[in-house]
Amino acid sequence: MQNNVSHTRYLPALEVSEGAGVTVHRTIGTPALRNLDPFMLLDYFCSDDPDQYIAGFPSHPHRGFCTFTYMLDGAMQHKDSMGNTGHLGPGSAQWMKAGSGVIHSEMPQQENGLMRGFQLWINLPAAHKMDHPEYQEYAADAFPINESDDSRLKLIIGRLGNLQAPINDDITQALYVEVQLRGGGDFSHRFADGHNGFVFMFEGEALINGRQTPGFTLAAPTGDQRQIEIRAGAEGARFLIISGKPIGEPVVQYGPFVMNSRDEINEAMRDYQNNNFVRDRAWINRRQTRAAENVQ
């Protein structure tokens, strides 16, 4: 295995409390890594203690980006201001384009047992931040799987080799893969040129680019380094591989709002405080038309 440890950043997760007191393990979206364009946040929630998840994520707003939730264990219900109700179980996923503004909740549908999964925030460029919101939900059997002697690979977003996921992001060309490696198994991946990518180890441990990497750790190639090489420990390893094309625009984030300027953040806050946050399609179309005219 080639030793690329000097060209790889290793970042342990930070335990934080979100929602109404849910314990999450955060790597992207911390003081150590504010964002990894186009990704604004990565949270891993994992607990069999109901006190750490039962309060859930009551109604809250989002504007200017997409949320993607992937469940491993447990049951969660989604409700939003678009009128959607979604039921997430083991292996299922949801993609929500907040765009101009969504108010939603994500609440556990269990009183005990293991609750485990991920939420990833994917930024939107200025031209799409005020798009009409959208919601899509995918059952566990919607995602293609490839198995070998060493590994089991599940493709969640994008294309990899001859596999095509049901979810595509044409803006960021995002790739989202879950991989399970048997003990001592090897796995390698090369990120697309110009894309930012990382591995998040959430079960077991492994050598990642030559460095022993425990669970709840993000490893990201730096500089011109594109390659990621993984060798699972004796007990095996389970991890995500995620990458995307940077948007390359200014980012101003305030809590659940991700915009391009402070003025846009202030507008989002005023809209929410004045109960004017959720806009109809006609208003969004008028705003986008004015924005296009200002560019010309």
pLDDT band per the 50, 70, 90 thresholds, residue 135: very high
| Inside any domain, residue 216 | yes
pTM listed for this prediction: 0.93
Q: What is the pLDDT of residue 224?
A: 87
CA 155, 56, 214: angle at the middle one, nearest 5? 50
| Inside any domain, residue 266 | no
| CATH number where 28 lies | 2.60.120.10
| Inside any domain, residue 296 | no
Q: Domain count for the chain, please give it.
A: 1
Query: What are the tens digits of pLDDT across the range 241-293?
Result: 999 999 999 999 999 999 999 999 999 999 999 999 988 777 777 877 776 66
What is the identity of the amino acid at 81? S
* SS3 state at 136: strand
If phi over 0 gives left and psi between -120 and 50 gives alpha, with beta otherwise, what is residue 241?
A: beta
Q: What is the pLDDT of residue 2?
A: 52
Residues in the chain: 296
| Inside any domain, residue 198 | yes
pLDDT band per the 50, 70, 90 thresholds, residue 223: confident
Preceding peptide of 38 cis, ω within 30°: yes
Q: What is the pLDDT of residue 292?
A: 66
What is the identity of the amino acid at 71? M
What is the identity of the amino acid at 90? P
Average pLDDT value for the chain: 93
Domain holding 149, by residue range, is: 5-244
Contact 221, 227 (CB under 8 A): yes
| Inside any domain, residue 273 | no
Query: What are the tens digits of pLDDT across the range 64-108?
Result: 999 999 999 999 999 999 999 999 999 999 999 999 999 999 999
Contact 209, 178 (CB under 8 A): no
Burial string for 173-208 (b: 16+ CB within 10 Å, else e) reads bbbbbbbbbeeebebebebeeebbbbbbbbbbbbbb
Map tokens 């504007």 to a residue. 63
Query: What are the tens digits of pLDDT across the range 183-219?
Result: 999 999 999 999 999 999 999 999 999 999 999 999 9
| Inside any domain, residue 157 | yes
d(CA 200, CA 9): 12
